[in-house]
Structure 1
Amino acid sequence: MRKYLLAAATALSLTTAAHAADSVRMSVGSYNLNNLPFPVAESLGFYKEEGLDVTTENFAQGGSKVLQALVAGSTDVAVGFYDHTIQMQSQGKHVVGFVQLARNSGLVLAGKNDTDFDPAKPETIKGKNVGITSPGSSSDFFIRYYLKQHGLTDNDISIIGVGSGAAAVAALQQGKIDLLVNYDPAATIVVERGLGKILIDARSDEGAKAVYGGIYPTSVLYASQDYINEHPEVIQKVTNATVKALHWMKDHSAEEIVAQLPDDFVSGDKQTYIKAVENAKAIFSQDGRFTPADLEVPLAVLRSFNESVGKATIDLNTTYTNKFVEAAGHSAEN
């Protein structure tokens, strides 16, 4: 009897272990809308359906903090911007994007209604306090690239980290900054509340081409190459769930998307947030795939002002992989 009980307990233990969820730590730089497919996948239970136990950390200061956490080994998967993979390669670190969430910038430059900055006269930006999400973030790259393109330097302005969402809007409203480089929902909130106006808009393909000279991929899921090599099954499950969320978002309205989000995710009033999601829908990837030609754009932007990237030989083919997305697509078809 004792042997039978021991054997039964062992079998139960093995069965439980076989069905135990895979743990994965995922960190997000901010809840700006470029990263929206991640909380959508989480809220709809897609990660759980894949057998994942996800621990989430939100670094509201911006994507550069998430990158630091990934490099330090305190997170497994980052929800951050593609250009960080290029940045890391120039420093001898191998970080790889494996799902594209946002195929375009989503950034705007906003100012108060009475601002005297005129994008047609770039020199009028001199002396301004410009708010970004955080130093080393893509909003930081945006403003530095703008200055470089027009023969100006970062000494001509003051660049100040103000976070995203409500905190970024408050910084503009309170006069702590003169101009704001940020994403939705902040961009839409500024306009809807009458606090200011959009002066440069890179949310559309046309706007991105005017600012960067092409489409500028932004939010992705990325991990170190070592983690991907050691945990391919976890990466595949994360990819399956995230691609499922992208497909779901494509087939649902902004109102339906917002209805799935927890209340603490929604910045400002719900109706304004719904408008922000509607404004941002065009930037989202529909299938999670990377388009190689588009990746040349962030490389060109970084090379223009980032000394380490400018000096490095960058192999874009090693900054991303479509392998897991393609496998997720085959799985969905079968």
Structure 2
Amino acid sequence: MQLSRRDMLKLVGAGGAALALPGMVNAQSSEKKEVTIAVGGQALIYYLPLSIAALRGFFDDEGLDVNIVDFAGGSRALQAVVGGSADVVSGAFEHTINLQSKGQFYRAFVQQGQAPAIVLAVSKRTMPNYQTPADLKGKKIGVTAPGSSTNMMVSFFLEQHGLKPSDVSFIGVGAGAGAITAMRTGQIDAIANLDPVIGTLLKDDVIEIISDTRTLAETQKVFGGNMPSACLYTSQRFIDANPATTQALANAIVRADKWIQASSLDDIVKTVPESYLLNDVALYKQCLEANRPALSPDGMVAADGPETALNALAAFTPNFDRSKIDIQKIFTNEFAIKANEKYPNA
């Protein structure tokens, strides 16, 4: 006897469909062929697996017609999926927690990054004699935006070293040319940012790195555990209605994750658009090499990752009620597991 998908949902329950169905979807075709993915800053190395999956035809191989819409930032991408103009977001893992705290159930289903890739550095111009984190007291620290992940990373770093966030001044400088200019001209004393901003400032010998979450070791030191970063996430409703489509998306991203880890810097450079290269191929390669440890090797969320992210948000966000969060509903590894079975050596 063959069961219809509606019968399956009745048997497993709508809430558990996302977890029960991935094992069945390999034999199914995708329910939704055309998928719109919203992303905030596609050219960032943080989102490289998304670009590789599109450029290498991995989405096409899964029978998907994917349209990637690039927004100015992650919050805009999130608004697109909540508002219904996009199906899936390529964004930061912690967004799923923030959304659930507001009664909106979204779930990460495949990882692109396994570390935040945020770097904290001091200015060689205004802090040439920096010795310890205590020297940051009273200083101006540039972050992408107040309340952002970069702001959160600095706050954790300060508290680990006996300082309070109120001991410094946080200045929003963005994640582009404005951030570079602010550091070069001495408008800020330290900066928490990502590549290519950090890579550019390093190349120009403007900064000294004091904490680097492009590595797993430093990420675990700062956050107290593994801190997942870029992922694909979507509403639980989308996953329940489109399990085969969700699986196909996960397959393509896992394949891209593995391709990046196995490929040379030259191969990656040849694959991405020229606009990604910052008019400086050597600099882009330098940034790639520095960020490769932060990129996911297999699309899987580390066992302690969701708890680490929840702890970070609860500590950083005023009046955050962690009792509202069901941590098992903010992510699933079921699709990534199936993707790794399909592409064990991709």
Change in Cα spacing, 1:20 to 1:317, as seen in structure 2 (3 Å) is closer
Change in Cα spacing, 1:225 to 1:268, as seen in structure 2 (3 Å) is same
Match of 2:169 among 158, 161, 164: 158
Match of 1:68 in 2: 79
Alignment coverage as a number of residue pairs: 316
Match of 1:294 among 293, 299, 305: 305
Contact 1:215 1:294 in 2 (8 A): yes
Distance 1:88 1:251 in 2: 34
Contact 2:107 2:332 in 1 (8 A): yes
Give the SS at the match of 1:130: strand
Match of 1:214 among 225, 228, 248: 225
Match of 2:70 in 1: 58
Change in Cα spacing, 1:111 to 1:65, as seen in structure 2 (3 Å) is farther
In structure 2, give the amino acid aligned to 1:72: G
Distance 2:65 2:102 in 1: 32
Match of 1:284 in 2: 295
Contact 2:31 2:245 in 1 (8 A): no
Structure 1-normalised TM-score?
0.85
Cα distance, 1:208 vs. partner? 1.5
Structure 2-normalised TM-score?
0.82
Match of 1:256 in 2: 267
Contact 1:247 1:287 in 2 (8 A): yes
Change in Cα spacing, 1:315 to 1:121, as seen in structure 2 (3 Å) is same
Cα distance, 1:174 vs. partner? 3.6
Match of 1:111 among 106, 122, 131: 122
Change in Cα spacing, 1:311 to 1:246, as seen in structure 2 (3 Å) is closer
Match of 2:248 in 1: 237
Q: Per-residue displacement from partner, 1:101-153 (whole Å, max 9, x unpaired)? A: 11112111122213338886444334433222234432122123334445544
Correspondence 1:41 to 2:53: yes
Distance 2:211 2:38 in 1: 29
Q: Per-residue displacement from partner, 1:209-255 (whole Å, max 9, x unpaired)? A: 22222221111111111122222232222111111111111211122
Distance 1:195 1:120 in 2: 16
Q: Which moved more, 1:233-242 or 1:276-285?
A: 233-242
Distance 2:136 2:335 in 1: 43
Contact 2:30 2:248 in 1 (8 A): no
Match of 2:44 in 1: 32
Give the SS at the match of 1:110: strand
Contact 1:185 1:277 in 2 (8 A): no
Q: Which moved more, 1:148-157 or 1:30-39?
A: 148-157
Change in Cα spacing, 1:293 to 1:20, as seen in structure 2 (3 Å) is closer
Correspondence 1:266 to 2:266: no
Contact 2:30 2:244 in 1 (8 A): no
Q: Determine what percentage of the aligned residue pairs are the same residue.
A: 35
In structure 2, give the amino acid aligned to 1:44: R
Distance 1:197 1:102 in 2: 24
Structure 1 segments unaligned to the other structure (5+ residues): 1-17
Contact 2:226 2:304 in 1 (8 A): no
Structural RMSD (CA): 2.6
Cα distance, 1:320 vs. partner? 0.5
Contact 1:254 1:275 in 2 (8 A): no
Match of 1:201 in 2: 212
Structure 2 segments unaligned to the other structure (5+ residues): 1-28
Change in Cα spacing, 1:20 to 1:207, as seen in structure 2 (3 Å) is closer
Match of 1:184 in 2: 195
Cα distance, 1:79 vs. partner? 1.1
